[in-house]
Structure 1
């Protein structure tokens, strides 16, 4: 069945918006059949190699395995990504073919000379420096094409700092390094381009991206949309709730806030506008929910794996402590969505236009089994994460074949393998580029110096240090994908919090949140801008509305620093239940305050009191809970009595 013209127009608009705000989506599409087949063979080969090594382990040393991963990614970058926005995308220029071929020698050199390199131990020869320089140049150019200019420029500034930092005064001065030392750091160690980030990209990340690609081919996206529609579509403001739920699930798997915004928003934003939400609010709901997917377990957009490797803690620990804050974030959005719908008297979608839950589960419900299988493998099987991820991919293929509508043929399998590799390219290049920043920070001690500076500015005040760290994370994360944003903030900002006695895992989760929220923080709120492109609203207005919807996400990280019980760390069952209940009430109060609506519209004074009560509920201690409960009871009583006597006044008190 072919698409009609309106469907094609919608798809074209979706692609245009995606490419405008997401450089990672600007692929070439070759008319030349040979080139198209070549790209497919390289991408599929890359996916199969990593899928095989998940079961068998890499056949080469770790450094060479990571180098091979980077080389394959670089080849795909120069084949797929044009050098500029205006460059033609239907042909491959000769210079990109040369750049693709130049991506191979650095890996071959490491493979052939690995023992000699290890034996030399920090004494690079001319060939080492030449190969290292070549790789650095290729990574910079690939990073510029895929991620945009922000990350490569930042990396270049770090290189300049490493070479000329000996001339700087004060805290950030170091002894200075020449290019031969830097080339060795970037190319011949696991503290440069082949750092932990590329290590995770070449193992966990590519496997979970492949898992998402196979789920997408089987129709998982349609299942999430249909489930959300069946469960919440009829309720007040139903389409917005559908957007929140579907975007959360999909965002956790695909890890791209912008791509998720455009993919899901293309369906949900028109529905929200249709029932009466204004275009600014509709775009903000979609973008804030899509960004939040990256803090939602179990996959968290793959950043959880890098966090686990960086901290040296089990991945399952990261997932368990991240659950409650992520759910509170989404509860905060849902509460504002509901309050806005109630305030504006918006209805849901008529039941006749909604899919039946039983029909949805009958048709595609079996696609939930791979996710359940993955949870079992990760938490209860005792096997490695790599084996769990690879096994789940195989299980997905098998389970999807149980029904004709989800069954994948050979072409679908090849497409999924190719799609997984293509998607990995953007993540891996970002990881390689940020490896240069990590390498400079490691060799110069910049991260520690910055941490000392943040603590000094904060004046030993935990709150001020948290505030400055939040601002630094948002600035560093602007215009960047979530994974490099996390790596940079974890390298530069998290040590400041650790110096003040905060547990490393808490500090890293704090900077992770705010690095991600840069995607909805003006002036560079790319996810919000993409949503505005679909809704027709003003980009900046959409960004500020998205910030308002994400209010809980900005408050909760501060609260779990002061009250790590919100992360369910070292809590008993009884105290954990109390923490969860008080946190839920607190987030609901924040949502009420943000929308200024409870039983009817709230006066500014009562809205401020409600916000204060919400924050008190999130803080530790019975006294703060009692005060917050008293505030809630007082406002409820005033609104209830006034409404009963006078109907529904405009404000709770005269303004």
Structure 2
């Protein structure tokens, strides 16, 4: 396998963020003014501005489209004079200026035609059709530039399918959609582009992304890395364990697996290689940790907020449901790094190589205050996510001023200089947050096209097709959904993948399951799709996080992706388990002691499963031990299986039956005898 030497990790980050152009000074100022204006608008919404929610979505989309056309070239790597003219990399092209002017006009068409559209709802005139189609075209082009071709192609194919559905064979056919009905649904209502996903993006996600950008600009990302290394570096395989913890903490800040890989991996991957991890495994650990960062409460990425809206539950309920699977999954990855260190005979870093923990911890203690405050607002005060994020951003501004003014006093550079640095950091955080939101806003809007077409009649047909394919088998239905999420996610960001799959398959899991007497909570179905959408980020051969990590580690990207996915198998099994054991998402469970007990059981299950698939428990596993470990893991994941087999009363005691039988199997596998006889540990 040839090594991937033609692109650096920063190149992959640029592809995601769109920072391709070397712009003139006034062009940079123009982009920064638009980005800063967007952030100020978003900050005014929870505090001063009272605007119709549909208008908020229109303005949000208008800013995203404008920034996309100003920031992103038509072609990232123009190869001839014509494409270089259309897509110059040393300036903003003339065509891009035209699109940047037209796009916000068509995006806000609902605002300035609001009254007239109410009178002709469902009966658009020629002007409505022209502006509606222009919005679709400009949105799909901006999305292609921002996050790649796949989502635009999928949205276009769904649209064409709606227009030519009657020409499709057999079960795939349904009534054609007229151009007027399409525009009314997709562009001129809140059932398509301006639907729930972009509404969540406009009201909640922006503030969380802004908060992450400001934390990063303040220096929190590097602090989390240094803290994790100082705490864990001395243990066996310490740099890998530090990578897991640092990526989990940074995942709350970056919101992007690629950004997470570049931020933490640049530091942790060389350390892992230094203590003895092969390049491929060092990169794979970072990929698995960075990808799973989107699972970690309390932020969990943009899709988690959309889950709350789709399932009509509070965001706290989503956090509660995801907590046990997420923390168990991360603990299992931490354990996997230990197993790999045992297999490879890797030790930790020396004391001289490590930063001092106490000094490191105290140096950035103020970075933990916003995170603690956010959790306090969400969990204790029970503020809405929007208000909690807004208040946290305000707190961050105060902390940044404190940090820079204190630094100015310490370094004796003057209070004026400290205030200037504070203003610069806050302003750059505002600008970075807006730029980071372009892809999210466009992804939610474009995914809305798919959602809109599905609601035009395609959804019922898809339900029938999946039902026929699954043949009433809930296991096959879940497998189809998981594979579809992974395949779709190879080309889509997590949020877009979730929206599309949630529209297509999450309701089907609930409906088809109910048809055959199997109850699946709606939240469990949506989390199932969400988990596999995240796992798609490192699924070979397309997972860009693996390519970024391999560029840092100088390892083959495909084998890095395969190794990363092998580490992530412990995450892939958990969604299947919480579909069959709803206790794992704490469904209907409000007892803290019982919830902690369920977490302990799930944690044990994840660790045992990891030992089975990694081929190492206390020492190298024998072949006959594999099924025993897997059976033990299943008993911890789903202890009710004992009552099913032995026809025992199905009450709370089944947990202790599962615990007892699971421990018994572990005792059978006990490898201490082989260790005493000289097996490696």
TM-score relative to the length of structure 1 = 0.93
Give the equivalent residue in structure 1 for 2:43: 51
Give the equivalent residue in structure 2 for 1:643: 675
**1:456 and 1:620, CA in 2 relative to 1: closer, same or farther beyond 3 A?**
farther
CA contact (8 A) 2:62 2:108 kept: no
CA contact (8 A) 1:256 1:481 kept: no
CA contact (8 A) 1:472 1:493 kept: no
**1:577 and 1:15, CA in 2 relative to 1: closer, same or farther beyond 3 A?**
closer
CA contact (8 A) 1:586 1:617 kept: yes
Q: Residue 185 in 1 paired to residue 180 in 2?
A: no
CA contact (8 A) 1:27 1:82 kept: no
Q: Residue 505 in 1 paired to residue 523 in 2?
A: yes
- Aligned to 2:153, the other structure's residue is in SS state helix
C-alpha offsets along residues 471-514 of structure 1, whole Å, 9 cap, x if unaligned? Answer: 11111211211100110110111112111131100000001101
In 2, distance between residues paired with 1:336 and 1:649? 17
C-alpha offsets along residues 56-81 of structure 1, whole Å, 9 cap, x if unaligned? Answer: 3443x222221111111111111100
In 2, distance between residues paired with 1:388 and 1:585? 34
**1:30 CA drift (Å):** 4.3
Matches within 5 A, 1:32-431: 32-59=24-51, 61-87=52-78, 88-403=88-403, 404-405=406-407, 409-431=422-444
CA contact (8 A) 1:284 1:546 kept: yes
TM-score relative to the length of structure 2 = 0.90
1:534 to 513, 527, 552: 552
In 2, distance between residues paired with 1:452 and 1:299? 35
Give the equivalent residue in structure 2 for 1:607: 626
1:561 to 572, 579, 592: 579
2:11 to 12, 16, 30: 16
1:591 to 610, 623, 632: 610
Q: Residue 626 in 1 paired to residue 660 in 2?
A: yes
Q: Which moved more, 1:347-356 or 1:606-615?
A: 606-615
Provide structure 1 residue ranges, at least 5 long, that are not aligned to the other structure. 1-9, 651-655
- Aligned to 1:402, the other structure's residue is in SS state helix
C-alpha offsets along residues 366-385 of structure 1, whole Å, 9 cap, x if unaligned? Answer: 11011111111112224332
Matches within 5 A, 1:452-491: 452-491=464-503
- Aligned to 1:175, the other structure's residue is in SS state coil
Taking only aligned residues, the RMSD between alpha carbons, in angstroms, comes to 1.9
CA contact (8 A) 1:336 1:594 kept: no
C-alpha offsets along residues 93-149 of structure 1, whole Å, 9 cap, x if unaligned? Answer: 111111111113224532222011112221111111111111111001101111111
In 1, distance between residues paired with 2:578 and 2:163? 39
In 1, distance between residues paired with 2:198 and 2:460? 22
CA contact (8 A) 1:367 1:400 kept: no
1:570 to 578, 584, 588: 588
In 2, distance between residues paired with 1:174 and 1:453? 13
- Aligned to 2:90, the other structure's residue is in SS state coil
**1:270 CA drift (Å):** 0.7
In 2, distance between residues paired with 1:558 and 1:344? 31
CA contact (8 A) 2:12 2:258 kept: no
Q: Which moved more, 1:429-438 or 1:408-417?
A: 408-417
Give the equivalent residue in structure 2 for 1:25: 17
**1:471 and 1:109, CA in 2 relative to 1: closer, same or farther beyond 3 A?**
closer
| Corresponding pairs, count | 632
In 1, distance between residues paired with 2:294 and 2:112? 39
Q: Residue 544 in 1 paired to residue 562 in 2?
A: yes
CA contact (8 A) 2:262 2:549 kept: yes
- Aligned to 2:76, the other structure's residue is in SS state coil
- Aligned to 1:63, the other structure's residue is in SS state helix
CA contact (8 A) 2:283 2:553 kept: yes
In 1, distance between residues paired with 2:399 and 2:593? 39
**1:359 CA drift (Å):** 1.0
